[in-house]
Amino acid sequence: MMATALAVLGGCAATKQEVSDNLGNRFLGKSVDALVSEFGPPANSFRMSSGETAYVWQLSAETNINTNSGVGTAQTNHCKVNVVSSPSGVVTKLTTEDSNRAGGSGPIGSFVNVGSICAKHLGMRRQI
């Protein structure tokens, strides 16, 4: 019953794949300057030996802290956009790195998709 409730509540947020597809459709083939205009300067960049440049945008990070009887755990969820551009600055590859609210690797995250942190940050809704 809890899994069903989480699935229903999370059904509105886009999945990681939907976010990646949406951003790819918007930015692939365009100048990396379009990403800078949208998200600001990248958190990191690296010039590869091929002449291409890899960029990382850290769009959002949330840390959740849970405590119970003096014992606690902390988990940071994040949204990153990874881009590779040609030597002339044209986006040739775009992927997202996203940890979702259910943790993605835990038992709940294995069965329930509650949407991505990237979707939440970017305001993307699930495609039906």
Domain membership flag for residue 69: no
Report the domain count for the chain.
1
Domain membership flag for residue 11: yes
Domain membership flag for residue 86: yes
Condensed to tens digits (0 to 9), the pLDDT of residues 79-127 reads 889 999 999 999 999 988 877 544 333 333 333 345 677 777 777 766 6
Q: Please name the residues in contact with 36: beta carbons below 8 A apart, sequence gap of 6 or more.
A: 42
Domain membership flag for residue 127: no
Domain membership flag for residue 13: yes
Does the pLDDT of residue 2 top 70, yes or no?
A: no
DSSP reduced 3-state for 74: strand
Condensed to tens digits (0 to 9), the pLDDT of residues 38-92 reads 999 999 999 999 999 999 998 876 677 777 777 777 777 778 899 999 999 999 9
The letter for the amino acid at 91 is V
Domain membership flag for residue 128: no
Domain membership flag for residue 33: yes
Domain membership flag for residue 110: yes
Domain range for residue 9? 2-64+74-122
